[in-house]
Amino acid sequence: MSLVLEIPPGFGRDLKSGTATEVLAIVDGSMPYKGETVEGYAAGIHQTLLGERDSAFFEDLTGLAGIEMRYRYNPSFESINAMAPGMPAILLILLPAILTAVSVARERELGSIANFYVTPTTRLEFLVGKQAPYIVISFANFLLLAAMTVLLFGVPLKGSVLALVVGGLLYVWGTTAFGLVISTLTSSQVAAVFATALSSVIPTIQFSGLLQPVSTLEGGARVIGSLWPASHFLHLSVGAFTKGLGWQGLAPDIAMLALYGPLFTLIAALALRSQER
């Protein structure tokens, strides 16, 4: 039960005689989001009824001024249009990062990384070599997810296709490089899985703008949300699909996404160098 309506005794009589009266609505507030929504609907229905009935009793704004509510980008306000383009942002950071991290950590744990230490391969070559296949796989995944969003979920791609694809490529470059960073900081596969999962699941699901816009987060969550790659790709993906933005609107996100790949690769290369014995 989410809502209890209590109509006081003599409500109808009071109404007819024009005496002011009250209706009590008790809302279950234990889940705030649900409570707020139920309350909003109750208040809305109340307003509508006030307007519909004989205005001798129920006078309010109606007839004086109107308020036109326009839901932009997603006029029917269906969550699929906002959520479906957001899902690739989650999957394309968690899976590529964890796969890349485990692939390097595995070599270290099993000792086969020694092969690399004795060959003239540079650190960067080793890292990029480990990363490259995962970029290819993840990019293929991205194309598949984008196709699914359009064909399976029926969300039209209204904006620039090319900008979305460029953003997707930069994003998987960055997320696989994030996996490299984790793998150079941890020494076992367990720790690599653990560290990647813990450092990425919560920022990605809670702080990236999927559930609430980054601009409304607070404190540490806000800082992480603004820097986390998933936030920018999510913004780009929702922008390209549902908002119908072109190159110009998506440029800031693409610029941010372009930073992560080189930055994380650099950090990983430096960290790997320092661990070499």
Partner 1 sequence: MRQLQRIFWLGLKEILSLRRDVVMMALLVYSFSVGLAMEATGTSTSVNNAAIAFVDEDRSALSRALATAFLPPEFQAVSYVEATEVDAGLDADRFLFAVIVPPAFEADLRARRQPELQVLIDATAMQQAGIGASYIHNILTAEVSRFATRQDLTAPAKVNLVIRSAFNPNRDTVQFQGVISLINNITTLTIILTGAALMREREHGTIEHLLAMPLSAFDIALAKIWANGLVVLAASVLAMLTIVEWLLDIEIAGSRLLFLCGAVLYLFSATALGIFLATIARSMAQFALLFILAIIPLQMLSGGDTPVESQPEWLQVLTLSLPTRHFITASQAILYKGASLESVWPEFLGVTLLGLLLLAGSLLLFRRSIAVER
Residues in contact with partner 1, shown as a per-residue x/- string from 102 to 131 under the rule CB under 8 A: xx--x--x----------------------
Find out whether 21 and 15 touch, Cβ atoms under 8 Å: yes
Rg (CA), the chain: 26
CB of 17: closest distance to partner 1 in angstroms? Answer: 10
Q: Residue 26: which residues within 8 A CB-CB, separation 6 or more?
A: 3, 4, 6
The three-class DSSP label of residue 265 is helix
**Residue 74 vs residues 1, 232, 249: alpha-carbon distances, Å:** 30, 20, 17
DSSP H helices, 157-246, are 161-185, 189-206, 219-227, 229-238
CB nearer partner 1, residue 120 or residue 215: 215
Considering the complex, what minimum distance in angstroms separates the CB of residue 229 from partner 1? Answer: 16
Strand partners, 5: 25
For the CB of residue 233, give the shortest distance to partner 1 in the complex, in Å: 14
Interatomic CA distance for residues 74 and 129, integer angstroms: 42
- Mark the segment that binds partner 1 (CB under 8 A) among 32-40, 137-145, 164-172, 260-268: 32-40
Binding test (CB under 8 A) with partner 1, winner from 12, 31, 52, 275: 31
CB nearer partner 1, residue 2 or residue 124? 2
Binding status of residue 15 toward partner 1 by CB under 8 A:
yes
How many other CB atoms sit within 10 Å of the CB of residue 46? 12
Distance, CA of 139 to CA of 135 (rounded, Å): 6
Triad 34, 241, 179: Cα angle to 5° = 85
Closest CB 136 distance from partner 1, rounded Å: 16
- Write the interaction track for partner 1 spanning residues 44-63; mark x where CB under 8 A is met and - where it is not: x-xx--x------xxxxx-x
| CB 88 to partner 1: min, Å | 13
**22 near partner 1, rule: CB under 8 A:** yes
Which of positions 163-202 make contact with partner 1 (CB under 8 A)?
186-191, 193-198, 201-202
CB of 120 to partner 1, least distance (A): 28
Tokens (6 digits) for 194? 């653990």
Span 202-261, contacts to partner 1 by CB under 8 A: 202, 205-207, 209, 211-222, 224, 235, 238-239, 242-243, 245, 249, 252
Q: What residues from 140 to 169 belong to the interface with partner 1 (CB under 8 A)?
A: none
